[in-house]
Amino acid sequence: MTSLLTIEDLRITFPSRQGPSEVVRGVSFTLGRERLGIVGESGSGKSQTGRAILGLTPPPGKATARVLDFDGTDLRAASAATWRRLRGARMSMVMQDPKFSLNPVMTIGRQLMEALKFGASETRAEARTRALAMLEAVQIRDPERVFRAYPHELSGGMGQRAMIAMMLVAEPDLLIADEPTSALDVTVQVEVLRILDRLVSERGMGLLFISHDLRLVSSFCDRVLVMYAGRVVEELKASELTQAQHPYTRGLMNCLPKIEGGQRPLPTLERDAAWAR
Amino acid sequence: MGEVMLQVADLAVTFRRGGDAVHAVQDVSFSVAQGESFGIVGESGSGKSTVLRAICALAPTSAGTIRLRDAPLATPRPARFFRQVQMVFQDPYASLHPRHTIDRVLSEPLAIHGFDRREERIERALEEVGLGGGFRFRYPHQLSGGQRQRVAVARALILEPEVLLLDEPTSALDASIQAEVLNLLDRLRAERGLTYVMVSHDLAVVAHMCDRLMVMQHGRAIEELSRAALAAHRAETDYTRKLLSASEGYTPAEAS
């Protein structure tokens, strides 16, 4: 498989009063045209890893890497013009909460059209048709209404789908989805995942799926990276998650309650200081 | 089954604004025995949290009755009610006052209800939720999400209530922290013979915590089933089956 994205030794540091604190400490992986999951708890560095790929590490944070390569482009030395060409058109990101990531004073339609403006040269009418078709593709029943609506007029699930439409309308090669379904109901979640799945299998998009939900990731992705304290502690095939070796991965699996019933009390995760080293 | 602790009959909650009426809850009935743990499951907007809020009179009851130990509840609820029924909210980041120390958070309900030996009660409440006295004079921002939710549980339990209403108590927490908080709630129920009504969108959490559960959709109760029935996937309605299969994880394609 040709790799779309290659990362070696990614490190992200934030200055703090106690000196620089490293939140991502030497993460390496490659992503082809597949579904790769990154799982970890809050603070494990999974979201920062995703942001760094798009050059969106919030200041004063600094991201450094030995290799950070997207389809032949070295992202470490990318100029502002290069970033403009890549972001939106070739790689984009779906954030967790539509409430904070959509522009509240622009209609959904205008935001979608804005995403298209940087893409192919086409007329306004063509762009509009494409935007409406994309809204329909993310299972929005009444695309005309949503096109005219402001973000506050939509429910959480609708807003999230509108945002996914916005990210996908330019047909990127790489999509970084940071907890794209955590704010959604389980039944809507499945629909959104089907859309992403179709894009990977039909259009050959690369998907980096960041989530805290191990059960979901293992059923959706091809491969899973498990992060703990800024490091990848284990990489495995999603289908082989039950045979995970690392005690952290196993702990995460075991502490989930099961519908079929199970142990009571639930096993809790005993953290070992050695995992973070 | 023991004595009926809480009985909700034909509950309806309607929010009116201008000419619009939103029927958030319609014809919901259930009863919870003393010492039982009852779950309410549904998606956002199904009215599950509104049922809990209506019990506490945080939402207006437009029809139906709510009885606690076979006595109908007066509106507004008397102070006595809150010594019997307490609520734990979803988001521990929003439900604790950011500028009050844990000590103040816990002593306020004691002062309102005129409890004695406050020092001792606060120390014990913190001990019981596994925090210890060292946390007493901290502010919420100095605690993690799991620790904050423990404080919220301590605040609810400090009045020694009989019924605890839990509104998505772990959905803002990491899986490993969720397990700790669920274990804590389980242990407290066993030790004190508490009655729980727990709302969640997570079927697995409800299956773990509750003896019986009710599924809600569009403001109506559509099915009531036991933990055993849920574990065996013996659901009556299509909607519950859909929820069950969705909570098992992702399935590539199905005729939906």
CATH of the domain at A208: 3.40.50.300
Residue indicated by tokens 């521990």: B92
Mean pLDDT of B87-105: 90
Which of A171, A199, A228 is at the close of a domain?
A171
* pLDDT computed for residue A120 by the predictor: 59
- Asked whether the predicted pLDDT for residue B186 surpasses 70, the reply is yes
Nearest Cα residue in chain B from A266: B179
Confidence of residue B115 (pLDDT cuts 50, 70, 90): very high
Any idea what the CATH number is for the domain that residue B212 is in? Answer: 3.40.50.300
Whether A162 is covered by a domain: the verdict is yes
Same domain, A75 and A188: yes
Give B253's contacts in chain A (Cβ within 8 Å): 194
Residue B108 CA to residue B100 CA, distance in Å, equals 10
Tokens of A239: 């289908």
Give A187's contacts in chain B (Cβ within 8 Å): 43, 242-243, 246
**The total number of structural domains that make up chain B:** 1
Residue A121 CA to residue A160 CA, distance in Å, equals 27
The torsion angles phi and psi of B126, rounded to 5 degrees, stand at: -65, -40
Q: Which domain holds residue B185?
A: 4-246
Nearest Cα residue in chain B from A157: B44
pLDDT-above-70 percentage for chain A: 98
Identify the DSSP state of B137: T
Total residue count of chain A as it appears in this document: 277
Residue indicated by tokens 């997207």: A70
Closest CA–CA distance from residue B7 to any residue of chain A (Å): 26
* Contact predicate B167/B88, CB 8 Å: yes
- Asked whether the predicted pLDDT for residue B251 surpasses 60, the reply is yes
Total residue count of chain B as it appears in this document: 256
Same domain, A181 and A152: no
Whether A98 is covered by a domain: the verdict is no
Nearest Cα residue in chain B from A211: B174
Chain B contact present for A194, CB below 8 A? yes
Single out the residue of B41, B21, B5, B30 nearest to residue B240, CA to CA. Answer: B41
Whether B123 is covered by a domain: the verdict is yes
Q: Report, in this order, helix, strand and coil percent for chain B, each rounded to 5.
A: 35, 25, 35
**The total number of structural domains that make up chain A:** 2
Same domain, A70 and A83: yes
- Asked whether the predicted pLDDT for residue B256 surpasses 50, the reply is no
Chain B contact present for A156, CB below 8 A? yes
Confidence of residue A253 (pLDDT cuts 50, 70, 90): confident
Where residue B249 falls (left for φ over 0; alpha for ψ -120 to 50; beta otherwise) is: left
Residue A116 CA to residue A170 CA, distance in Å, equals 6
Same domain, A167 and A184: no
Which of A120, A144, A171 is at the close of a domain?
A171
Element housing B230 (H / E): helix B227-231
* pLDDT computed for residue B103 by the predictor: 94
Residue A154 CA to residue A104 CA, distance in Å, equals 11
Which of A120, A146, A171 is at the close of a domain?
A171
Same domain, A180 and A270: yes
Q: Which domain holds residue A139?
A: 104-171
Give B199's contacts in chain A (Cβ within 8 Å): none
Chain B contact present for A272, CB below 8 A? no
pTM of the model: 0.84
Q: Do A261 and B247 touch (CB under 8 A)?
A: no
pLDDT-above-90 percentage for chain B: 61
Whether A95 is covered by a domain: the verdict is no
Interface of B with A in 212-241 (CB under 8 A): 227, 230-231, 233
Element housing B52 (H / E): helix B48-55
Single out the residue of B72, B48, B74, B62 nearest to residue B13, CA to CA. Answer: B62
Q: How far is CA A146 from CA A88, A112, B48, in A?
A: 21, 11, 27
- Asked whether the predicted pLDDT for residue A206 surpasses 70, the reply is yes
The torsion angles phi and psi of A266, rounded to 5 degrees, stand at: -65, 140
Rounded to the nearest integer, the mean pLDDT of chain A is 86
* Contact predicate B195/B35, CB 8 Å: yes
Same domain, A164 and A225: no
Ranking A59-63, B44-48, B188-192 by mean pLDDT, the lowest is B44-48
- Asked whether the predicted pLDDT for residue B194 surpasses 90, the reply is yes
Whether A125 is covered by a domain: the verdict is yes
* pLDDT computed for residue A121 by the predictor: 64
Q: Do A259 and B187 touch (CB under 8 A)?
A: no
Same domain, A207 and A272: yes
Closest CA–CA distance from residue B71 to any residue of chain A (Å): 35
Q: What is the pLDDT of residues B220-237, one digit of tens each?
A: 999 999 999 998 888 889
pLDDT-above-70 percentage for chain B: 98
Tokens of B135: 């946390």
- Asked whether the predicted pLDDT for residue A87 surpasses 60, the reply is yes
* pLDDT computed for residue B172 by the predictor: 78
Give Dmax (Cα) for chain B.
Answer: 62
- 3-state SS track over chain A: CCCCEEEEEEEEEECCCCCCEEEEEEEEEEECCCEEEEECCCCCCHHHHHHHHCCCCCCCCEEECCEEEECCEEHHHCCHHHHHHHECCCEEEECCCHHHHCCCCCCHHHHHHHHHHCCCCCCHHHHHHHHHHHHHHCCCCCHHHHHHCCHHHCCHHHHHHHHHHHHHCCCCCEEEEECCCCCCCHHHHHHHHHHHHHHHHHHCCEEEEEECCHHHHHHHCCEEEEEECCEEEEEEEHHHHHHCCCHHHHHHHHCCCCCCCCCCCCCCCCCCHHHHC
